[in-house]
């Protein structure tokens, strides 16, 4: 957390921020209360942020709660991530029209990329955007539509001061402090001195925007409280991953009994992949009208829990729930490193909250680690017994 060049915004600071960003032609997306949840949506005023609302989270459970301190960002990740806007759930690829001569005219979809400003990006989601950047905008197979949206996006990150019961960003090294990849970073501070935001720029445009806002130089007390709150959040994570190399753990436990136990509860509904901020898989669908004169190709999100995801001539590659859950977990925590150089998990906890049966990826990782340790201990005991029997 860098605070050397920080300033302090008052309670009116977020309204001013929204006004300035809108004046620059940006569509502001931020958290707001709707239908009993804190969701991401287009906002036109800072007043639409979820002031005075928090959330109560557990495996398979999400509840909106009231807060007495009027905090705007004292809530954990909701059912959506910023992937919804950068990598939309459904997107048209091209259209085809049959002409009078019977020929086809195919027109690629090249809509103008929106100029988004994301207000309230959590450190875990900031890291998730960086992961998707590597997948969709880096390497040999880039997604031009994603890249256009990403290049035009302005990111206002908010450090976490109150983690949820299903958060484990510390285990994944993704929070609760904001490090890089942002244009502006905010830390919300509420104490006897009032309600305010410690703000700092992370890019030249961020510095320009910050210069247009009503602010005052950051005082020592605000800096100290902000740092203490973020440090305190790191000590209050609701979940942890086992302190081992997760890639190696996934590799060593492919035949573990635990996979059968967890998948006895798994519905293979794909909720975890839909809410995950890093899952990126898609498929395509071709549709036509009844006359056959018009056709369209659409790309939509796909899930590795879908039987059709790896369907070949002889049937699906992963026909059992066990094989599909294991593929998701081992890819997310293990083989993602081989493809993209990092974990595919950022510790946001969404997959835990939005699983209908409350399957907890951290609980499963601990169980796999315990099973591996027990197997190693058994092997060591057997080896010791063999040596004693044959001196």
In contact, 166 and 352? CB cutoff 8 Å: yes
pTM (predicted TM-score):
0.92
d(CA 373, CA 391): 27
Q: How crowded is residue 39: how many other Cβ atoms within 10 Å of its Cβ?
A: 15
Confidence of residue 58 (pLDDT cuts 50, 70, 90): very high
Give per-residue pLDDT as tens, 168-192. 999 999 999 999 999 999 999 999 9
**Terminal-to-terminal C-alpha distance of the chain:** 59
Cα dihedral 156→158→164→167 (10° resolution):
70
- Which residue, 95, 141, 114, is CA-closest to 281? 141
Rounded distance, CA 48 to CA 14, Å? 10
Q: What is the mean pLDDT of the chain?
A: 93
Cβ neighbours for 341, distance < 8 A, ≥ 6 positions apart: 134
pLDDT one-digit tens code per residue, 221-277: 999 999 999 999 999 999 999 999 999 999 999 999 999 999 999 999 999 999 999
């Amino acid at each position: 957390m860098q605070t050397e060049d920080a300033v302090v915004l008052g309670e009116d600071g977020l309204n001013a921020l929204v006004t300035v960003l809108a004046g620059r032609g940006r569509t502001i997306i931020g958290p707001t209360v709707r239908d009993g949840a804190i969701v991401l949506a287009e906002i036109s005023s800072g007043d639409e942020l979820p002031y005075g609302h928090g959330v109560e989270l557990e495996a398979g459970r999400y509840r909106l709660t009231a807060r007495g301190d009027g905090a705007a960002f004292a809530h954990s990740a909701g059912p959506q991530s910023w992937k919804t806007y950068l990598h939309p759930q459904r997107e048209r690829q091209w259209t085809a029209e049959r002409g009078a001569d019977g020929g086809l005219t195919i027109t690629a979809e090249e809509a103008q990329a929106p100029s988004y400003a994301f207000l309230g990006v959590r450190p875990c989601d900031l890291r998730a955007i960086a992961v998707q950047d590597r997948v969709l905008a880096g390497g040999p197979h880039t997604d031009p539509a994603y890249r256009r949206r990403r290049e035009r996006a302005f990111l206002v990150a908010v450090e976490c001061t109150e983690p949820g019961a299903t958060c484990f960003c510390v285990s994944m090294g993704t929070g609760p402090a904001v490090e890089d990849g942002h244009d502006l970073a905010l830390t919300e501070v509420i104490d006897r001195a009032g309600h305010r935001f410690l703000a700092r720029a992370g890019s030249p445009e961020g510095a320009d925007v910050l210069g247009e806002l009503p602010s005052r130089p950051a005082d020592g007390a605000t800096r100290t409280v902000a740092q203490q709150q973020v440090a305190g959040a790191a000590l209050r994570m609701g979940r942890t991953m086992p302190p081992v190399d997760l890639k190696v753990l996934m590799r060593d436990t492919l035949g573990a009994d635990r996979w059968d136990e967890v998948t006895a509860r798994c519905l293979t509904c794909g909720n975890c992949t839909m809410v995950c901020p890093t899952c990126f898989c898609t498929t395509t669908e071709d549709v036509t009208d009844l006359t056959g004169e018009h056709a369209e190709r659409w790309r939509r999100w796909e899930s590795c829990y879908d039987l059709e995801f790896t369907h070949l001539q002889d049937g699906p590659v992963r026909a059992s729930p066990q094989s599909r859950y294991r593929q998701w977990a081992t890819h997310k925590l293990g083989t993602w490193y081989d493809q993209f150089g990092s974990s595919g998990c950022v510790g946001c906890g969404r997959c835990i909250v939005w699983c209908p049966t409350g399957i907890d990826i951290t609980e499963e990782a601990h169980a796999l680690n315990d099973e591996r340790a027990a197997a190693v201990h058994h092997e060591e005991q057997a080896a010791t017994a063999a040596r004693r029997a044959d001196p």
